[in-house]
Amino acid sequence: MQLKILGIRRSRHSVKFTHYLLESEKKDSEKLIGKSVEWKSSSGRKIKGKIASPHGARGNLRVIMEKGLPGQAVSTFVEVK
């Protein structure tokens, strides 16, 4: 299953550089909490993360990734393991 990265988690005064938001359907989001995800770059580098919690009423998810996920990863897909 693939989920789209929507953007980085941030607020007015701070940015969490390892927290990202994923787009998911509302019916699937509760089942995916705790699962691991993996993002692949075009050069073959893999960055892993874990789905932490739901976000908002639409069923989006928060994911905590390893440090080093580039900004170009936004609007690309991660693979749920």
Domain boundaries, the chain: 2-9+16-80
Q: Report residue 7 CA to chain centroid gap.
A: 8
| Residue 58 pLDDT | 83
Distance CA 1, CA 14 (A): 31
Alpha helix positions (H), 1-81: 29-32
pTM of the model: 0.86
Among 64, 43, 42, 45, which residue's Cα sits nearest to residue 53? 64
2-9+16-80 to CATH, choices 3.50.50.60, 3.90.550.10, 2.60.40.4070, 2.40.10.190: 2.40.10.190
The residue written with tokens 């080093």 in the block is: 68
The residue written with tokens 């390892």 in the block is: 18
Q: Which amino acid is at 36?
A: S
| Residue 25 pLDDT | 78
| Residue 26 pLDDT | 73
| Residue 30 pLDDT | 85
16-72 per-position pLDDT tens digit: 889 999 998 777 788 999 999 999 999 999 999 999 999 888 889 999 999 889 989
